[in-house]
Chain A
Amino acid sequence: MDLQWNGQEQIAANKATVWTFINDPAKVASCLPDLLESNVHDAHSFDATVKVGVGPVRGKFKFNITLEPSADGNHMDLKISGGGLGSVVDLLAGADLIANGDMTTLDWKGSASMRGPVATIGGRVLDAQAHRVISTTFENVKNQLGGVTAT
């Protein structure tokens, strides 16, 4: 099952502040919804155990997460792969940072490929659930940096 979403956050912080924040694995980990545990491996990767509830598929999923910043400081890719309960999830989230005075626009896109019970048993509610996870992550980035608006 392949899914795609996109969204935008207006963050009340300048681009350099946002860029620093999203390059910090520990801070990015703290923005994941339903986070149970995380371990930073190095400057660009960490693992995270999160609580998952998609339809009747309920339990812990463990993910390996890699940050891939662009050299020009305008774009960040977030690669998330892992799973649990016999399911596998590969998720790619990319965010463009656009300076907007003292504000920063975070324009994001996400796509996911899912296999196993999470895609099949939870199929009917998966799209909305996965969208919620990824949008909440970016919303938490905004909230931690003091942003108040979203579109």
Chain B
Amino acid sequence: MGQSMKRKEDPRFIRGKGRYLDDIVMPHMLYLALVHSPYPHARIKKIDKTAALAVPGVKAVITGEDLVAAKLGWLPTFHGFDNQMVLAIGKVLYQYQEVAGVVATSREAAADGAELVEVDYEPLDPVVDPFQSKLDKIILRDDREQKTNHIYHWEVGDRSAVDAAISKAEVTIKERILSPRCHPAPLEPCGCVSDMNGATGRLTVYMTSQAPHVHRTAFSLVTGIPEDKIHVISPDVGGGFGNKVPVYPGYVVATVASVILGVPVKWVENRTENLTTTGFARDYHMDVELGATKDGKLTALKVSTTADHGAFDAAADPRKYPAGMFGIVTGSYDFPAAFAEVDAYFTNKAPGGIAYRCSFRVTEAAFAIERAMDILANKLKMDPVELRSRNFIKKEQFPYASPLGFVYDSGDYEMTMRKALKIIGYDELRKEQAEKRKRGELMGIGISTFTEIVGAGPGKHFDILGIKMFDSAEIRIHPTGSGIVRAGTRHQGQGHETTWAQIVAEELGLDPQELLVEEGDTDTAPYGLGTYASRSTPVAGGALALAARKVRDKAKKIAAHLLEAAEDDVEWKDYKFNLKGVPGKTVTMKEVAFAAYTNPPPDTEPGLEATYYYDPPNLTFPYGTYIAVVDVDRDTGFVKVRRFLAVDDCGNIINPMIVEGQIHGGLTEGFAIAFMQEIKYDASGNNLNTNFTEYLVPTALETPHWETDNTVTPSPHHPIGAKGVGESPNVGSPMAFVNAVMDALSPLGVTHVDMPLTREKVWSAIREAKGA
């Protein structure tokens, strides 16, 4: 623990020996290509398969009506409140929606066949703006009993108290802040190989899955195949970021095709399919109001959000929290009163609303409060650091019950911020900025002092399809003291093969190099809810530590037997069992392991293994202070990120090198979201960002240099005091960049520009500003 051990998985990755989905080739395997709608909203009058079936190599063409006949026309969405068409039935509801599937002997033949499926559409007017959707002039979902585009209203907090506080406030601000639709865009897109074995009746699905067990259960619920007859294997996964949590039509159609044709069927989407049909993120339009005193003491927060969910309510939010954990919108600040509400609407856009490297709407919430704090500081003519300092939840207030219902576990926000300010040289930067402003130069300093909420469960509050959000670990120690560790999570680059081994090694005094970590195979791993929402370390990490302690409890009996002592006279210290009061009389875990198989105590069953299902008592609350320093070219709108510092507090750290790597990756994503990425639709419903020439992914050329540091405030309830960190940099960084650019433009009177801050938008803001 706490050691920067090199990643055990890297030798196979850097040598090209990873085994990803598309590496899987099976005898007699066929390929699936999907037909997509060019229209965002249209009735399907007819689908003609004739020409497609005439293409050499094409074996089958499957439509929505075929799936309806097989009772597989619709899928339940993530939380089970809505159903989603697998293939379009009667109507298409977004551009690129899947309309048919063509199965053939080669990828090329399948693609050729897909081009020849003739679909006769009757175009309908699309609704692409959630504020237009709100008017219900065009009802998009004929299939629902409720003839409205409104999906749900959710609220938390005391509306009347907040309204009263804001009306009495000495100073108020109100701003519409957009967290724009973006996409996780993992470099490996989604795919599967479905293999129904007619002889055994067993379905094996290799799939790009962040949650293999949940997918197995979902497959069973949808198809009626008993769960023991389904084997889901998630091979190496090339990035997920939430995109590989939902069930997509390609998985279902490939499986149906395998059942019909009796051979394995592979489906791997292309980049355009990934960007246009799989789970998007964000798309929250947030009206944020703050009330404060003249000296900068916050009195109230109100946030009213219009959420664009696209064609189906497929948002990845737990059943009890339709707007996810948006209640974290009070952030790191001690509000006397707060209120948040979210209204979600259907539009003719791809469905989703997944947690893109964030715990269910935390990024939107964190962005809203951190932007609002800077807008308020600007109005008060107060340094944003000072405003934050005056309103932080104090160290001694933890555990802190927020007015929106969450109980924060631990934190020392002032300490972490002061460390960041010292490292970056904040006072000197402000002096430099003042000098530059005299010369008309646009330099900005942006700060974000965010708090996250991660680690879903606890099971009493969080579930997927009714399954409680616990997680699990199984540890088997072999006779010679090495072992195998299995967990219900599935890493996609997070380094679990290393960190899980480190957690178990720390608890058992073993060598992490001799602990093999396995995930992603539902036949062997214990049932778990998967890896997303920064839940692996907070939940599965807890399960691993507690499973290891169960092993240690049994090992203690065996050690006592070996030491010919009573168990109470044996203690675990310095990574071995010691006979109390007898220095040097010790037994190592390796010795215990051998004895577990060769010389167990008479009243103890042989072997040394344990399983633990951990349902955490609370969420964890990682936080951090991020500071961006930018120079803006007033003639071109180009923003140069000169420095970026991330000081994170994720509690106890398992592997500092892996944490740093996670932060680098997340900051790069946050940088892209702040400056480059948005999934836009034109008024006709055309998706305008369908590939990497239009949806930009930063390369080393654009990516700034990242400076990182940390403080450590352990979670008091977590078995090893860890909080999770994978999502913090994505959650916490976009507003640091935006706050920095707005700080640079503040002498011109610019207070807010929505992301992404492209050169064109920054240039336009400068041109339109009064002071330009």
Chain A residues with a Cβ under 8 A of chain B: 1-2, 56, 83-88, 113-117, 119-121, 123-124
Chain B residues with a Cβ under 8 A of chain A: 35-36, 38-40, 95, 115, 121, 272, 682-691, 694
Query: Could you tell me if A119 and B39 are in contact, using CB atoms closer than 8 angstroms?
Result: no
Query: Could you tell me if A115 and B690 are in contact, using CB atoms closer than 8 angstroms?
Result: no
Query: Could you tell me if A115 and B686 are in contact, using CB atoms closer than 8 angstroms?
Result: yes
Write 16 A-B pairs (CB below 8 A) sorted by A numbering.
A2-B684, A86-B115, A87-B38, A114-B686, A115-B39, A115-B40, A115-B95, A116-B686, A117-B38, A117-B690, A119-B684, A120-B689, A121-B690, A121-B691, A123-B686, A123-B694
List residues of chain A with CB within 8 A of the CB of B688: 120, 123
Other contacts beyond A85-B115, A115-B39, A120-B689: 7, CB < 8 A: A115-B40, A116-B38, A116-B686, A119-B686, A120-B687, A123-B686, A124-B694
Residue of A nearest to B687 (CB): A120
Query: Could you tell me if B36 and A86 are in contact, using CB atoms closer than 8 angstroms?
Result: yes
List residues of chain B with CB within 8 A of the CB of A83: 38
Q: How far is the CA of A121 from the CA of B272 in the complex (A)?
A: 9
Q: How far is the CA of A75 from the CA of B686 in the complex (A)?
A: 32
Query: Could you tell me if B684 and A113 are in contact, using CB atoms closer than 8 angstroms?
Result: yes
Residue of B nearest to A87 (CB): B38
Residue of B nearest to A60 (CB): B115
Q: How far is the CA of A120 from the CA of B690 in the complex (A)?
A: 7
List residues of chain B with CB within 8 A of the CB of A121: 272, 690-691, 694
Select the residue from B39, B95, B684, B686 with max chain A CB neighbours within 10 A: B686
List residues of chain A with CB within 8 A of the CB of B115: 84-86
List residues of chain B with CB within 8 A of the CB of A56: 691
Q: Tally of A-B residue pairs with Cβ under 8 A? A: 51
Interface of A is mostly: mixed
List residues of chain B with CB within 8 A of the CB of A113: 684
> Residue A86 contacts which of B38, B684, B686, B689 (CB distance < 8 angstroms)?
B38
List residues of chain B with CB within 8 A of the CB of A88: 38-39, 121
Q: How far is the CA of A88 from the CA of B36 in the complex (A)?
A: 12
List residues of chain B with CB within 8 A of the CB of A86: 35-36, 38, 115
Q: How far is the CA of A1 from the CA of B687 in the complex (A)?
A: 10
> What's the nearest-Cβ distance from chain B to residue A108, in Å?
23
List residues of chain B with CB within 8 A of the CB of A1: 682, 684, 686
Q: How far is the CA of A84 from the CA of B683 in the complex (A)?
A: 22
> What's the nearest-Cβ distance from chain A to residue B48, in Å?
14
Q: How far is the CA of A119 from the CA of B682 in the complex (A)?
A: 10
List residues of chain A with CB within 8 A of the CB of B35: 86
Q: How far is the CA of A30 from the CA of B684 in the complex (A)?
A: 32
List residues of chain A with CB within 8 A of the CB of B683: 2
Q: How far is the CA of A122 from the CA of B63 in the complex (A)?
A: 28
List residues of chain B with CB within 8 A of the CB of A123: 686, 688, 694
Q: How far is the CA of A128 from the CA of B45 in the complex (A)?
A: 33
Q: How far is the CA of A127 from the CA of B226 in the complex (A)?
A: 54
Residue of A nearest to B39 (CB): A115
Residue of B nearest to A90 (CB): B123
List residues of chain A with CB within 8 A of the CB of B39: 88, 115
List residues of chain A with CB within 8 A of the CB of B121: 88
List residues of chain A with CB within 8 A of the CB of B686: 1, 114-116, 119-120, 123
> What's the nearest-Cβ distance from chain A to residue B314, in Å?
21
Q: How far is the CA of A113 from the CA of B38 in the complex (A)?
A: 12
Q: How far is the CA of A120 from the CA of B95 in the complex (A)?
A: 10
Residue of A nearest to B36 (CB): A86
> What's the nearest-Cβ distance from chain A to residue B686, in Å?
4
Q: How far is the CA of A92 from the CA of B183 in the complex (A)?
A: 35
List residues of chain B with CB within 8 A of the CB of A2: 683-684
> What's the nearest-Cβ distance from chain A to residue B269, in Å?
14
Query: Could you tell me if A117 and B684 are in contact, using CB atoms closer than 8 angstroms?
Result: no
List residues of chain A with CB within 8 A of the CB of B36: 86
Query: Could you tell me if B684 and A116 are in contact, using CB atoms closer than 8 angstroms?
Result: no
Query: Could you tell me if A116 and B694 are in contact, using CB atoms closer than 8 angstroms?
Result: no
Residue of B nearest to A120 (CB): B690
> What's the nearest-Cβ distance from chain A to residue B667, in Å?
29
> What's the nearest-Cβ distance from chain B to residue A71, in Å?
29
List residues of chain B with CB within 8 A of the CB of A116: 38, 95, 686
Query: Could you tell me if B691 and A115 are in contact, using CB atoms closer than 8 angstroms?
Result: no
> What's the nearest-Cβ distance from chain B to residue A12, in Å?
40
> What's the nearest-Cβ distance from chain A to residue B615, in Å?
45
Select the residue from A84, A85, A86, A119 with max chain B CB neighbours within 10 A: A86
